[in-house]
Amino acid sequence: MKHHKHRPPREVRIHGFDARGGGEGLDVNGTKWSIRGAPVGALIQAAGRNYDGTRLSLLEPAPDAVTPECGVFGVCGGCQWQEMPVERQREEKGRMLARLLGELGGEDHGVVSDGPAYGYRNKIELTFGTGRYLLSHELNTEIKREGRWLGFHAPGRYDRIVDTPDCALASPAINAVYARIRADVLASEFGFWDCNAHTGFFRNLILREGSSREVLAALYTAPGADEHAAWLRERAPSWGASCVGWFENPTSADAAVGDLREVLVDSGSGLSITASLGGIRFQLATTAFFQVNVPGAELLVDVVRRYLGAGGPGSVLWDLYCGAGLLGLACADRFGTVVGIELVEAAAADARANAAFNGVENVTFVAGHVEKLVGTLAPPDAVIVDPPRGGLHPDALAVVAGLAASVGTEGHPTSRVLVYVACKPTSLLRDGKLLAAAGWVCTDRVAVDLFPQTAHVEVVTRWVARAHP
């Protein structure tokens, strides 16, 4: 068996972000490190592999360091940059993206944002558990790991819960409902789920907020008995949620899945709330996909609309990886026909329902693999692609890239526009190189900071394909 040589801790001065969202810096030997949650300007003691280092301690804070607003920052895994002013976070994200994506060309419009740096999330998902993740100052103490805990998973630990009384990124309305639910379930006599023994009652909790500050609560449990039902019926109306659904999960799967057992609180619209974005109203069920940062997502929609332009009455827009239809619906007034493709049938169904809810009739949403269906569509005048983190499927990319060669033929205008929305910049870089090789030209790019305090950022690029003279 091969044994790795012991690597002693190193001191690393952090000078920027890398493309994976880590703090990038050099140790005294000149070795480059990437360390999760290492703020720019700080001196970090790190261990492990230099390309995926572990932060052991903060030896020296950055000159502009700020105090995190979350009591479990750095442990739950949701945030990385609460020790940095949000303006500095965006500045460093912009620098990283400029280095990474510069070769694609186009005018770089930096990082734009709107809304608060905290309290912006309109949805959170929490887990009940019997094993607590101990904080660094709690190790080697008499604090017990086993008990009843409710919060978020620690990174890489399905069996350990970071016990969390609130979330600094969640909206005030969500935190208020969460506080009431948390107090009740902790005081109850019913057990929390043990993911190893597969015992216990309470399993998962999803909270999401609508545009009118109403909150939907979805409680996932093991199959319940009469005493569970009686307790839930008594307590749920006091939680302050406009609707509460009770779902039963009979499997061992560590996820918020299950069948609806009972609607415990009904506001009149069943288990759904209404949200508005991009001039479109959405009916949101428990697990429906929707942007968690509405002010930031409004900026995203505005950028996409501006980059696409107006196609006119007879024009065709493709909306690939359309999700619940946000971008296609928000741009439908600028094109004659919109065709969306989405892999997940439930999301495509949501998109069709949202179109009907808003009276938008010039849209068609189809469920299926983009790479299999895209070749069957009528040629477009404009295209939106908003793929998952892995980027475009190679077969779908081949079709989209090939559209550049058909510009000016078959009665189409002399230019075609493509808007690529990327949640993973390295996937955009890979796909962008292939688009450029096929004849697409990147004219503009901008990053929208949808997730302050985290390493994530959404990048929107505009591409054109022009007919050759």
Looking at residue 299, which CATH number applies to its domain? Answer: 3.40.50.150
Q: Is residue 281 within 8 Å of residue 357, measured between CB atoms? A: yes
Residues 345 and 422 in one domain: yes
Q: Do both 325 and 411 map to the same domain?
A: yes
Q: Tell me, yes or no, whether 96 lies in a domain.
A: no
The total of structural domains in the chain comes to 3
Average pLDDT for residues 311-317, to the nearest whole number?
A: 94
pLDDT at 271: 86
34 and 168 belong to one structural domain: no
How many C-beta neighbours within 10 Å does residue 419 have? 25
User: Which residues, 6 or more positions from 333, have their beta carbon under 8 angstroms from its beta carbon?
Assistant: none
Give the structural domain span for 369: 103-115+293-466
For the chain, what is the mean pLDDT? 92
Write out the two tokens for 152: 């978020």
Q: What is the pLDDT of residues 79-101, one digit of tens each?
A: 999 999 999 999 999 999 999 99
- Residue 81 in domain: no
- In-domain check, residue 94: no
Indicate if 431 and 318 belong to the same structural domain: yes
Asked whether residue 228 falls in the same domain as residue 198, the answer is: yes
DSSP letter at 14?
E
Domain shared by 230 and 377, yes or no: no
pLDDT for 4: 44
Sheet holding 382-385, edge to edge: 107-112, 441-448, 458-466, 415-422, 382-385, 312-320, 335-342, 363-367
For residues 183 and 306, state if they share a domain: no
Are residues 233 and 310 part of one domain? no
What is the tens place of the pLDDT at every residue in 411-446? 444 589 999 999 999 999 999 999 999 999 999 999
306/338 same-domain check: yes
Q: Which CATH number goes with the domain that contains 247?
A: 2.40.50.1070
- Which 8-state DSSP code applies to residue 266? -
Name the least confident of 55-69, 191-205, 267-281, 423-437: 267-281
Same domain for 57 and 196, yes or no, is no
Asked if the model's pLDDT at residue 319 lies above 90, the reply is: yes
Residues 367 and 270 in one domain: no
469: pLDDT strictly greater than 50 = no
Asked whether the predicted pLDDT for residue 6 surpasses 80, the reply is no
Query: How many Cβ atoms from other residues are within 10 Å of residue 55's Cβ?
Result: 21
Query: In this structure, what CATH number is given to the domain that contains residue 34?
Result: 2.40.50.140
- Number of helices (H), then strands (E), belonging to the chain: the values are 9, 22
Do 261 and 321 lie in one domain? The reply is: no
Tell me the pTM: 0.92
Tens-place pLDDT, residues 157-211: 878 999 999 999 999 999 999 999 999 999 999 999 999 999 999 999 999 999 9
Q: Is the pLDDT of residue 222 over 80?
A: yes
What does the CA dihedral 368, 371, 373, 377 come to, rounded to 10 degrees? Answer: 140
| H runs (alpha helix) in 262-311 | 294-308
Q: In angstroms, rounded to a whole number, what is the distance separating the alpha carbons of residues 376 and 12?
A: 53
